[in-house]
Amino acid sequence: MKGYEPSNWRALSRVDQIVSFSEDDIFIDFGSGKGRIVYLAARYPFKKIIGVEISEHFHEIAKANIANSRSRLKCRDIELINQNAADYMPEDPFSIAYFFNPFVNTIFEKVIENIKLSFLSNPRKLWIVYKKPIMADYLDTCEWLTHVHTNRNTAFYRSVHPDGSLIT
């Protein structure tokens, strides 16, 4: 297991400069750890926020952190899931997937495949925000994604329509 490193406290304010957040967005943090990004996302008026974390220890810490902060959060619909991200199939038509390099290789590829299946069953504008993008070469091969921007070691990808156009 690699060491734990939470996202920077300013991570989402930087993401918000590229991805315009809206009240209709559903945000998923894959590898949500102790819940910092879930907490930061909940300070925005997202429709729903989901955190997926395999470590039961980190998951319990995240639940306590969110419970202690709920009264200050704009988003009230927060779901924390203690599960291997490779086995997680998103049910909600989410619009933003956030990764802070939580896993690599086959696990990362399986998560991206599950995201693709979600996208194909419900084509929509979908962002993948990938901090410390060591698997960016893999994302670059995904025909349903296009690389939009890289800033401060964070890569931004958008879903594309089968005709190659960006979905708005």
Span 58-69, pLDDT tens digits: 999 999 999 999
C-alpha R_g of the chain:
15
Res 6 pLDDT > 80: no
* Structure confidence at residue 12 as a pLDDT band (50, 70, 90): confident
Res 26 pLDDT > 80: yes
The pTM of this model reads 0.92
* Structure confidence at residue 166 as a pLDDT band (50, 70, 90): confident
The superfamily in CATH containing domain 16-159 is Vaccinia Virus protein VP39 (3.40.50.150)
Give every CB contact of residue 54 below 8 A, 6+ residues apart in sequence: 31, 82, 83, 84, 85
Span 120-163, pLDDT tens digits: 999 999 999 999 999 999 999 999 999 999 988 999 999 998 77
Query: Backbone phi, then psi, for 42, in 5-degree steps?
Result: -70, -10
* Structure confidence at residue 9 as a pLDDT band (50, 70, 90): low
| Helix (H), strand (E) at residue 69 | helix 56-69
**Would you give the DSSP letter of residue 95?**
S
Q: What does the pLDDT read at residue 1? A: 45
Domains of the chain, residue spans: 16-159
CA distance 103 to 113: 14
